[in-house]
Structure 1
Amino acid sequence: MARRKSKKKQKQDDTLGLVGGVSILSSLIALYLTKNAVISVITLIVVIVVLALIINSIEEAKLKRLRRSGIAEIDKMTGTQFEHYLGQLFKLQGYNATVTQAQGDYGADLVLNKDGKRIVVQAKRYSKNVNLKAVQEVHGAIAHYKASAGWVVTNSGYTQSAINLARSNNVRLVDREELVEMILRVKEIIK
């Protein structure tokens, strides 16, 4: 069985394909309009360079955002440190956040209260994608804590099975990208 590509690798392949396609199309259009192979090749080179510069600047902007967010520090935290960090992050967003005890937490690492709603959160500071076990845990915690919703928050991503289970059980998944956005919004508020 063939191995599936990671989202990052797939995105890189898609971008490379798009750059190649646009470059070749531009070159063919130039050849058709001018009937000159030299101009067509020059067009191809110019389009590739321009697209490479655009992609590079987009990647640089993403990298700057990640550096500003502090996600690199989160990646070095222990699971318990990450739970406490999230507690502070949610407090800055107006939630009454309580970090549960480390053992016997019934599937919730944090309990959030805001506007009469209770949300249980399963925090996963991982270097790989979070699997469906985290979704199962937080789903079980909803009833135990009498919560109206369950979230799984990670500094990583999710397996497809976790995404499917979360969707069918109305569990919100907060991945690395959304976590970075949340951190940046909070940093803007506290400036």
Structure 2
Amino acid sequence: MARRRRRRYYKSKKVSLEVILALVAFMIFVVFSIIRAIVTGIIHIEAYFVKQNTFLQTAFILGLIGFVLLFAWINNELRNKRKEQLIRLQQERDQEERREILRKRNLGLLKEMDPFEFEEYVACVFRCAGFEYEVTKRTGDGGKDIILRREDELRLVECKRYTTTKVGRSDIQKFHSAIMECSAKEGFFVTTGEFSKQALECASDKPIQTINGEHLLSLIEQYAGFEKEVLEHLVQEPLFVRVNFVLFEYFCKYAGFSTKCVED
């Protein structure tokens, strides 16, 4: 029985190898045939082209150059359109992110957040401030929740979503150790609660900015709220409308006409 099984195994393996070799040979034949057909076509075109007069040859070359330029222009336009679409999508994502931040800017809502959701929220606020961010893993983060980068400078953020508990001196010391270990320029300790007196004294002589709940709301208004108000203002009154109206008003004034609105 064992010998029969071995024979069947070797026989099936031999058949599969033969099929693979046949397929490879067929693919080589197909590729060779295509290359041969292309070369033959080029030779016939060249022979026909040589028989024509100089005018037709020049026209053909100019037409070929024009086709290449047209193809390059179309390709460039498609690239620019795609790039504009990507920029527009990114702007829409940024605006939606800011709207989401503003929806949750109430301190009570921040305190009810899941701790990890709060870290992502704070990271988005710093992103609105112009930082590139990376949220660290949930366990074993080494005393830092968010890593910020801007202009080749590293900054760290530690988040504490507290309701009644205050940030203590030991929390500041642990965060300072993480800053020194990462060679960061400074750190931001963010909490929805408050800092104890000992914690503030400990952070006063260290590269650590303490941000309590009220300060966090101010940052949200500064980096997320202001830009949203500007965007809404531009939507209501586009820039080109304002510019054209100013030019129109100046022309009417120069010509001696009044620009007051007439009521129906």
Please say whether Structure 1 and Structure 2 have the same fold, judged by a TM-score greater than 0.5. Answer: yes
How many residues were matched structurally? Answer: 126
Q: Secondary structure at the match of 2:129?
A: coil
State the Cα distance separating 1:68 from its structure 2 match: 8.1
Decide whether the 8 Å contact of 2:185 with 2:207 is kept in 1: no
State the alpha-carbon separation in 1 of the partners of residues 198 and 119 from structure 2: 24
Decide whether the 8 Å contact of 1:138 with 1:151 is kept in 2: no
**2:160 equivalent in structure 1:** 124
1:68/1:145 CA distance change after superposition, 3 Å: closer
**2:150 equivalent in structure 1:** 114
**1:85 equivalent in structure 2:** 121
Deviation digits for residues 79-125 of structure 1 (CA, Å, limit 9, x no counterpart)? 11110111111111111011111111111000111123211111011
Amino acid at match of 2:213: R
Percent identity over the alignment?
Answer: 26
Write the mapping of 1:26-45 to structure 2, written as runs, cut at 5 A. none
**2:174 equivalent in structure 1:** 137
1:162/1:117 CA distance change after superposition, 3 Å: same
Name stretches of at least 5 consecutive residues in structure 1 with no aligned partner.
1-66
Amino acid at match of 1:152: F
Matched, 1:171 2:208: yes
State the Cα distance separating 1:144 from its structure 2 match: 2.4
Decide whether the 8 Å contact of 2:188 with 2:210 is kept in 1: yes
State the alpha-carbon separation in 2 of the partners of residues 144 and 108 from structure 1: 11
State the Cα distance separating 1:184 from its structure 2 match: 1.1
Decide whether the 8 Å contact of 1:122 with 1:134 is kept in 2: no
State the Cα distance separating 1:154 from its structure 2 match: 0.7
Bigger radius of gyration:
2
State the Cα distance separating 1:75 from its structure 2 match: 1.1
State the alpha-carbon separation in 2 of the partners of residues 130 and 149 from structure 1: 18
Q: TM-score, normalised by structure 2?
A: 0.45
1:145/1:187 CA distance change after superposition, 3 Å: same
Deviation digits for residues 18-74 of structure 1 (CA, Å, limit 9, x no counterpart)? xxxxxxxxxxxxxxxxxxxxxxxxxxxxxxxxxxxxxxxxxxxxxxxxx98322211
Amino acid at match of 2:168: N
State the alpha-carbon separation in 2 of the partners of residues 138 and 190 from structure 1: 33
Amino acid at match of 2:226: E
Amino acid at match of 1:87: A
TM-align CA RMSD:
1.9
State the alpha-carbon separation in 2 of the partners of residues 79 and 132 from structure 1: 21
State the alpha-carbon separation in 1 of the partners of residues 115 and 173 from structure 2: 18
State the alpha-carbon separation in 2 of the partners of residues 77 and 124 from structure 1: 11
Q: Give the structure with the higher percent helix.
A: 2
**2:188 equivalent in structure 1:** 151
**1:51 equivalent in structure 2:** none
Q: Secondary structure at the match of 1:98?
A: strand
